[in-house]
Structure 1
Amino acid sequence: MVFLTAILILFSIFAVVKIYLKLTTGRCRSHTCLVGKTAIITGSNTGIGYETALDFAKRGARVILACRNKSKAEEARSKIISETGNDNIVVKIVDLASFDSVRAFAKEINETENRLDILVNNAGVIGIGDDTSRDGLSLVIQINHFSGFLLTNLLVNLLKKSAPSRVINVSSLAAEGAKNLDLDQIAKHTSVMTDYYNSKLCNILFTQELAKKLEGSGVTAYSLHPGVVKTEIVNNTSGLLKIGFSFLMKFFSKTVEEGAQTTIHCSVAKGIEECNGEHFSDCKRVKAYKTARNPGLAKKLWEKSEQIVHLQPNETQL
């Protein structure tokens, strides 16, 4: 009887938490039309990225699915066209584990696209087997931060040409776990979770400094926490980490459609330009996490990132 009572209490707690999460989940209420606009979304063949692309397509945008896996991206493209009737959906291949691939992708975009109104740096991983990228860096931090940093710099001229335009960086509440960001060691693999925490903090710091550099250009930047979302990112983990994440996802996660709402809000909502460089959660501006309030850290990270990606003066106007 005691055991049964404990189970019922535990179930009740789970139910209350689940209901609370549903009631407090933010939704994008903007009806902004994106006809004539072009958006790039990294990692858009599945999860939050796919739902974001689907929403943009419904609004009439030209959507570029920037993905590593061509077959999955083409499948996503077909589904989006079928559901929305918008056939202006394009697949472009980019491997964020390679700076050469990022540069080749950006070169193609700059040569073939007339405008870029929204850049969503959405792609992210927790752990995907190998610890080190082909560029010799922590694979998690390269995919989650450095490649997005490089891609944004390489496309910033097109963003400025298309202003008003926006850069959206998908971060996470996990940034609070990055207690001591050592910039001298930032590119090196430590542990799966430490790398992930650090990369998510980098997303926020990058956004802060990017906003300063873009001031007056008509291009604005925002970072966000999508919530705990049941996506395929968990498939890249293993062992106890996978068990733990799977438990959290099962009972406390948002759907991918719900998880995409804050990304969509930051991309299309009118009147948030005054929030340039700030952080969002559940479609609302929130105070930056304590780990992201270290004076001067964003600027130092930017300078370190320039060194690590070997950014050349002729590659950017920032």
Structure 2
Amino acid sequence: MQGRTEDGFGMIFGVNHLGHFLLTLLLLERLKACGSSRVLNVSSGAHKSGAIDFNCLSTHKELGVGDSGFQMFTLYCHSKLCNVLFTHELAKRLQGTSVTCYSLHPGRVRTEIFRNFRIWLKILFIPIYWLFFVDSDSGAQTTLHCALQEGIEPLSGCYFSDCAVQDLLPKAKDDAVARKLWEVSERLSGLS
């Protein structure tokens, strides 16, 4: 969760957003040449608590600073907002092509996300984990829906949860912020 990528980006920003942004853009011409194809960005409902601080991104190559558990979760929320904004802008740029894109919340899935938590946090979260989180098969359903469901092409750019389109907060579909994030991401990843 903490640390930096080889290129000096904050680990959460680099792994959760910038790497996916770069991979998608590097594959985009091939996707267009393949005919109908889809790009899925696995986000999280936590994007609702996210924000994009472009000044911090410029100075620290990260969406925020700090290394406490709460600060790491906040950075995670910011990165998941990046996923939604990236999908929003990507859909606009893909209009008129056979490539569509969707962002999604898979639900609260039992993964190893707590493996690096301090023991007291594990003790606190384990009952919640087993009571309110779903197994990986259930957690994969929205991803599979967005990848395979016929007829959702007109919903390109939308955000899904529980296999259905969800309304987004205004900040998650802000055209100006999405465009600026795209431009900054291009610069940071060496594409411009």
TM score, norm. by length of structure 2? 0.89
The residue type equivalent to 2:179 in the other structure is K
SS state at 2:101 partner:
strand
Counterpart of 2:189 in structure 1 is: 309
Counterpart of 1:207 in structure 2 is: 87
Q: 1:160 aligns with which of 32, 44, 53?
A: 32
| TM-fit CA distance, 1:155 | 0.5
Number of aligned residue pairs: 183
> Which structure is higher in RCO with an 8 Å CA cutoff and minimum separation 6?
2
Bigger-Rg structure (1/2): 1
Counterpart of 1:147 in structure 2 is: 19
Matching of residues 1-318 of structure 1 within 5 Å = 127=1, 130-178=2-50, 180-186=51-57, 187-188=61-62, 190=65, 191-312=71-192
State the Cα deviation string for residues 67-125 of structure 1 (Å, max 9, x = none): xxxxxxxxxxxxxxxxxxxxxxxxxxxxxxxxxxxxxxxxxxxxxxxxxxxxxxxxxxx
Q: 1:215 to 1:260 in 2, by over 3 A?
A: same
| TM-fit CA distance, 1:240 | 4.9
| TM-fit CA distance, 1:289 | 3.1
Question: Equivalent pairs: percent with the same residue?
Answer: 43
CA contact 2:89–2:175 (8 Å) conserved in 1: no
Q: 1:231 to 1:310 in 2, by over 3 A?
A: same
The residue type equivalent to 2:52 in the other structure is L
CA contact 2:85–2:174 (8 Å) conserved in 1: no
Q: 1:282 to 1:132 in 2, by over 3 A?
A: same
CA contact 1:138–1:195 (8 Å) conserved in 2: no
| TM-fit CA distance, 1:232 | 1.5
Q: 1:266 to 1:182 in 2, by over 3 A?
A: same
Q: 1:132 to 1:246 in 2, by over 3 A?
A: farther
| TM-fit CA distance, 1:251 | 1.0
The unaligned stretches of length 5 or more in structure 1 are 1-126, 313-318
Instruction: Provide the alpha-carbon RMSD of the alignment.
Output: 1.6
| TM-fit CA distance, 1:245 | 4.1
